[in-house]
Amino acid sequence: MEEISLTQLGRDVRGFASPVEAVLERVANPQAGKLFLARFTAPEFTSLCPVTGQPDFAQLVIDYAPGDWLIESKSLKLYLASFRNHGAFHEDCTLMIGARIVEVAQPTWLRIGGYWYPRGGIPIDVFWQTGPAPEGLWLPDQGVAPYRGR
């Protein structure tokens, strides 16, 4: 496995102005070869509407079955925070995050649920996964209730 040099963990990092600038880091999976699910939940995700510039809010639930790599959680937090001044539609934000995690961590499997609060009175929920879940992987419900004033 390649040597990893972490640039954020244990260091004072200001954050990033955009998701393009943000550095998402990985660490070696000490349980590589075992099938398990790791979950990140971001209950206060924020981005901007690309048309109006108004803030959009979501709860993100990211489930992945790691391969050789784990996503380093501080770098994920900073990556997600970089969307606060980024203008993109709900679908684009959700899929951009899922694709970036896949690019960096190369998981066995990933799914992301973006549970967006209403814009114009309509909540938009966005779901994406890399393919069918591996046989034998325990997939708990993402735990987000259907919209009723979340």
**HEC string of 113-146?**
EEEECCECCECCEEEEECCCCCCCCCCCCCCCCC
Q: How many residues are recorded in the chain?
A: 150
The count of domains in the chain is 1
**Active-site residue, 49 included:** yes
143 domain-assigned: no
118 domain-assigned: yes
14 domain-assigned: no
109 domain-assigned: yes
Question: Coil, helix or strand for 70?
Answer: strand
139 domain-assigned: no
Q: Are 37 and 65 in contact (CB under 8 A)?
A: yes
6 domain-assigned: no
Query: Catalytic: which of 49, 68, 92, 125?
Result: 49
Query: Catalytic: which of 12, 56, 63, 93?
Result: 56
31 domain-assigned: no
Q: Are 68 and 4 in contact (CB under 8 A)?
A: no
CATH code for the domain of 47:
3.30.1130.10
Q: Please state the rounded mean pLDDT for residues 126-146.
A: 95
Q: What would the pLDDT profile of 115-127 be if each residue is shown by its tens digit?
A: 999 988 888 999 9
Q: What would the pLDDT profile of 31-76 be if each residue is shown by its tens digit?
A: 999 999 999 999 999 999 999 999 999 999 999 999 999 999 999 9
Q: Are 136 and 51 in contact (CB under 8 A)?
A: no
* H or E element at residue 65: strand 55-65
What pLDDT, on a 0 to 100 scale, did the predictor assign at position 7?
67
